[in-house]
Every structure is written in C-alpha cells, then in structure tokens.
Structure 1
Amino acid sequence: MNVHSIQLNHPISINDLSRLDVLTKRRLKEVGICEGSVISVKRRYPFHGPCTIESDGQQVGIRRRTLELLLGDEM
C-alpha cells in the first residue's frame, strides 16, 4: 500500500524502499527509517508541498514524491 494514501497519525510499517534512489535511501536510513520501521504521517502541506513524518519520536520533513514511493502496511 502506498504510504501517501494512509490517513494522518496512523502507524505504518515500511516494507519496501526499493523504488527510492540510493541517496534518498541513505538519508532516510541516517534518520532511522528503514524497512521494518514504523512511521506515521503527521502533516501534508498544500500545493504538493512536503510532508512531515514521525519515526521513533523524531519528526522529519520529506518530499511528497518520496512519500509516494514508500510502500508499507497499516498497523
């Protein structure tokens, strides 16, 4: 399931990062987001702007396009 389509503040388990490029995967890994991580989308900004996600109490802003490429399962 596409992570972008999940409602706000619902936990999601990331199960596929293969559609991301190498640099984006590395940046997400540096902030603790990898396959098996549980995240939640906290905020979506208008006009196709960035989104704020939370993982282990840490909030990170990422591009909407990156969020659309993440695949996960709702918990």
Structure 2
Amino acid sequence: MNMLAQLKPGEKATIKDISLVDGLVQRRLLDLGITEGSEICVKCKLPFGGPIMIESCGQCVGIRQKEAKCIELERV
C-alpha cells in the first residue's frame, strides 16, 4: 500500500483512497477537485517534516505530512 508521504519529488500517482483523512481536510481536497481517481504529481517535499507540495488539476496544493500518511495511492 503506497501512501502520499512515501513518494519522492517528480513521482506521479493516482489517488485511491482519501477516507482515512480528517473530514475537514477531505472536504477541502474535494473542493479543490482532488478526489479518488485524480492524478497527482509531487512537486517538492519541504524539510523537517514540512508539507508536501502536490500538483493536481493544474494547481499546486500543500498537504501536511500527517494527512499525507493517510492518503492511499497507486503509482503511475
């Protein structure tokens, strides 16, 4: 099982499951058009446990490590 926190910058994947993420974060991702089946690309991982910058649907979004560990992916 691959999680978003495991991807390296430049890697692409498809979101499989976001149901383990906190409800408010889940809602925010859905509002941004990031849903199960969306393809994402990791742009960068900020140091010292900082957020992971991902690109999806032409926009960049920062996701905390805590949430990134709950988002299940399938590598492309």
TM over 0.5: yes
> RMSD value over aligned CA atoms?
0.9
Per the TM alignment, residue 57 of structure 1 is displaced from its structure 2 partner at its CA by: 1.4
With normalisation by structure 2, the TM-score equals: 0.91
With normalisation by structure 1, the TM-score equals: 0.92
Instruction: Tell me the residue number matched to 2:45.
Output: 44
Percent of aligned pairs with the same amino acid: 39
Alpha-carbon distance in structure 2 between the residues aligned to 1:21 and 1:7: 23
Alpha-carbon distance in structure 2 between the residues aligned to 1:46 and 1:7: 13
Match runs of 1:21-36 below 5 Å? 21-36=22-37
SS of alignment partner, residue 61 of structure 1: strand
User: Does the aligned pair in 1 maintain the 2:22–2:67 contact within 8 Å?
Assistant: no
Alpha-carbon distance in structure 2 between the residues aligned to 1:35 and 1:50: 20
Per the TM alignment, residue 50 of structure 1 is displaced from its structure 2 partner at its CA by: 1.0
Per the TM alignment, residue 10 of structure 1 is displaced from its structure 2 partner at its CA by: 1.6
Instruction: Tell me the residue number matched to 2:68.
Output: 67
- For this pair of structures, how many residues does the alignment match? 75
